Amino acid sequence: MSKTDQKIRNLEIHLDSVVKKRVRLQEVEAQVRTQIQILQKQKQIQVTIKSVSTGPPIAITHQHQIEADAGTSRNVPPLYGNGYGSYKIDDRPIVSRVQFGSGHSNNSAEITAIIHALRALRLITDASNAEVLIRSDSKIALKWCTATEQPKENTSSAFRSAIALLRFETEKFKKIKTQWRGRQHSVNLFGH
Residue range 124-157, pLDDT digits in tens: 999 999 999 999 999 999 999 999 888 998 888 7
Helices (H), 75-176: 106-122, 139-146, 157-170
Sign of CA dihedral 153, 159, 164, 166: negative
Question: How does pLDDT run across 21-46, given as a tens digit for each residue?
Answer: 666 677 767 777 777 777 766 665 56
**CATH pick for 61-190 out of 3.30.1490.20, 3.40.640.10, 3.30.420.10, 3.40.50.720:** 3.30.420.10
**What pTM value is reported for the model?**
0.71
